[in-house]
Amino acid sequence: MKLSHRPLHLAALWLALLAWLGFSTAALGDTDSQAPASPAGFEQLVRQLPQGSLPQRADTIARLGALDDPRVIEVLTALQDGQLQADRSAPPRVAVRRGGQLQDVLTGEPVQDSTGFRRVPVNNSLRSQLRTLLAQLNLNHEDARVRYEAVRRFIRDGIDQASIALLEARQTQEESGLVNGAIDTALALYQLNHGSPAQRLEAVDALHGSLEQEARNALTALASHPDTPTELREAAEAALRSIAGRISFYRFIENLTFGLSLGSILLLAAIGLAITFGVMGVINMAHGELIMLGAYTTWGVQVLFPDLIEWSLLIAIPSAFLISGLVGIAIERGIIRFLYGRPLETLLATFGVSLVLQQAVRTLFSPLNRPVSSPEWISGTLTINPVLSITWTRLYILLFGLAVFVALLLVMKRTTLGLKVRAVSQNRAMARAVGVRSSWIDALTFGLGSGIAGVAGVALSQITNVGPNLGQAYIIDSFMVVVFGGVGNLWGTLVSAMSLGLINNFLEPYAGAMLAKVLVLIMLILFIQKKPKGLFPQKGRAAAD
């Protein structure tokens, strides 16, 4: 009996084992099906943007915003502005339109055939989601300028309760004074439009020193509206007067900065001429063309080394100094040394040299202007507040001009060459008597002045067109600076360049560019009538000749 039941027991055991295995497999299958999917990356989410229903695309946008990828802001901004396009391939290719050209979002390459691309549509619900999400991303950006522009966009587009919450959250951790000031203005504008009478009065007080254009517009509308309470109107008028005073102050600072920047350009253009004119008494009309050679050297460096744009100026400065300096030495050795003591003949001779150099440049490089790119570190604007901003190019040229002046001053005061140059300029005969080879000093001095002119051309290539006529625009101004400051005096050149730059810049808003130059020339002529030797006349026996 026991043997007869053993097959049944074995069969039951096998059935139980199979059932357990099936249950375990099903359980494992359920576990796998419930496991979380791997998070989607930037590429996958971008390709999902043109697809699916509106709720699915809203979810894709939210998942994109959660990524820590700098390209997210660009893609979402393009989607909000209607500049994001996609084709109908599987998966779709997504591109953003920049300046009329489609560029692939993922590869960065331009799209050659854009016939199959269509704009990725968004409705009001998605626009609202994009606006909030972009505000959050930009407000938390690491760059203070991006955060500032995000707050300003809130101010321009209008502020709602959700925006207030974002701005208040940002204000608790904001370190930039510029951004905090914009946030204060945004919160005060919201309170001015939606607050109680007491809160509106507080908002006007908060806007008392704001330089934002929207704040001025709101206060002007409040002060001119007939239904505005008297107390509120008077507060708005007082705030507008305070803002007007601050704007006038910052406009003055802006004019002062631009005037010093113009003065630094004149300093760079004239400081080389101050040396050659002061030491040798040579009226060098080819000085502007030596500046032009320095500008063309900058262009040539960028053509030869297209991958080194960020370093091009640092390479061009010594290169321009050497090229213009060697050309200057060649001019001195070949022409000018035969004309010492005859200033009018040097004027005619160097004027002929200037024409030759201009025609040579036209023949070699064509008469067209040549484009010179600015490195990224010199581009852009330094924004101090909404009414005061300074371009980095102007600021760097000002610092560069002062650096060149200090370097030249050290050469003239602390080196043997500088000692001999000063000796020759003060008394040529006595310098020869003590063994100074004045002819070589003349050549080296002319080369030094010409090299500095080439360095000036490097700086000018960043703010003006590089062409054969570049030097002609600065030759007259350079002579004005040298004569006004005192022939051969470096400190006089510095003071006169900065003074003429400031006077010209402050006159231009009232008299116009051309009339301002005429007025400066008239004032200079009257000054020379009183002090023919300039602000800082040269000392020595030669100075009395």
The confidence score (pLDDT) of residue 3 equals: 39
Q: If we measure between CA atoms, which residue out of 361, 356, 352 comes closest to residue 296? A: 361
Strand order in the sheet with 84-86: 101-104, 94-98, 84-86, 118-119
The confidence score (pLDDT) of residue 438 equals: 76
Q: From first to last of its 545 residues, what are the pLDDT tens digits of the chain?
A: 343 444 434 444 444 444 444 444 434 344 343 333 334 578 888 888 888 787 888 888 888 888 877 788 888 888 888 888 888 887 888 888 876 788 888 887 888 777 778 888 888 888 878 877 887 788 888 888 888 888 888 888 777 777 788 888 888 888 888 888 888 888 888 888 888 888 888 888 888 878 888 888 889 988 888 888 888 889 999 999 999 999 999 999 988 999 998 899 889 888 888 887 766 778 888 988 999 999 999 999 999 998 888 899 999 999 999 999 999 999 989 998 888 778 788 888 999 999 999 999 999 988 888 888 888 888 888 888 888 888 898 899 999 999 999 998 898 888 888 888 878 777 777 888 888 887 888 888 889 889 999 999 999 998 888 999 888 888 888 888 888 888 767 888 899 899 888 888 888 878 777 788 888 888 888 888 888 787 777 664 444 44
User: How many Å separate Cα 187 from the centre of its chain?
Assistant: 30
**CA dihedral of 241, 242, 245, 246, whole degrees rounded to 10:** -140
CA distance 500 to 95: 52
Cα dihedral sign, 351-352-356-358: positive
CA distance 295 to 300: 9
The confidence score (pLDDT) of residue 279 equals: 67
Contacts of 202 (CB under 8 A, 6+ apart): 191, 195
pTM attached to this predicted model: 0.72
Contacts of 414 (CB under 8 A, 6+ apart): none
DSSP-assigned letters across all residues of 257-270 = HHHHHHHHHHHHHH
